[in-house]
Chains A and B, each alone.
Chain A
Amino acid sequence: AQSVSQHNHHVILSEAASLELGCNYSYGGTVNLFWYVQYPGQHLQLLLKYFSGDPLVKGIKGFEAEFIKSKFSFNLRKPSVQWSDTAEYFCAVNGMDSNYQLIWGAGTKLIIKP
């Protein structure tokens, strides 16, 4: 079965530090990849997505992610984090059996110290 792994469950950084959150998926075929974010007290919202084309995808709030097919990875990056980036981040994939059913990672809780 398709699965998604997020390596870090908790990350603590200081403001202005660079961020990279890992995401690996198990399926070797065509995939669509997503990062969602959940700010404290808010609902899940889409941060960025990859369907095809340029493997470097830019999203909202200065986030970007790179799809590396050979590594089955879709890591999320931001060069300089802010306190307002404190949130939980989820990687999700679809593609194997369904183009709508999302398979999710367990999430990474990111805390930014002011």
Chain B
Amino acid sequence: GAGVSQTPSNKVTEKGKYVELRCDPISGHTALYWYRQSLGQGPEFLIYFQGTGAADDSGLPNDRFFAVRPEGSVSTLKIQRTERGDSAVYLCASSDGAGVPYEQYFGPGTRLTVT
């Protein structure tokens, strides 16, 4: 079946602009996660959704970052007033339950470059 998909695959934007990154999880997966991966680092947790609600947004770096999942499927990560330090690969993952032993399945990521 289809895996997790993310669009766009690449996004270049100017400092100060607003961007939206989209994640389509595996059909039926109730849990959805966003991670950010900077160059030379492992992924860093941003936010976790169980259904439509953000169960844990403790990883969002500041209030410029926001994510929604209005119908419990597709999620959008929104970044306002982008800064050069926001440049990274943004990864989305989904699982068919939360916690162990549910495996997180990852998408290909969106590479965001802020110029």
Contact = CB atoms under 8 A, between A and B. Distances in A.
A105 B100 CA distance: 19
A103 B43 CA distance: 8
Contacts of B33: 100
Contacts of A105: 42
A70 interface: no
Contacts of A92: 42
- Interface SS of chain B: loop
Nearest to A90: B42
Contacts, number: 60
Interface of B: 3-4, 31, 33, 35, 40-45, 48, 56, 59, 91, 93, 95, 98-109
Contact of A51 (B48, B98, B100, B107): B100
A98 B56 contact: yes
B102 to A, nearest CB: 8
B99 A44 contact: no
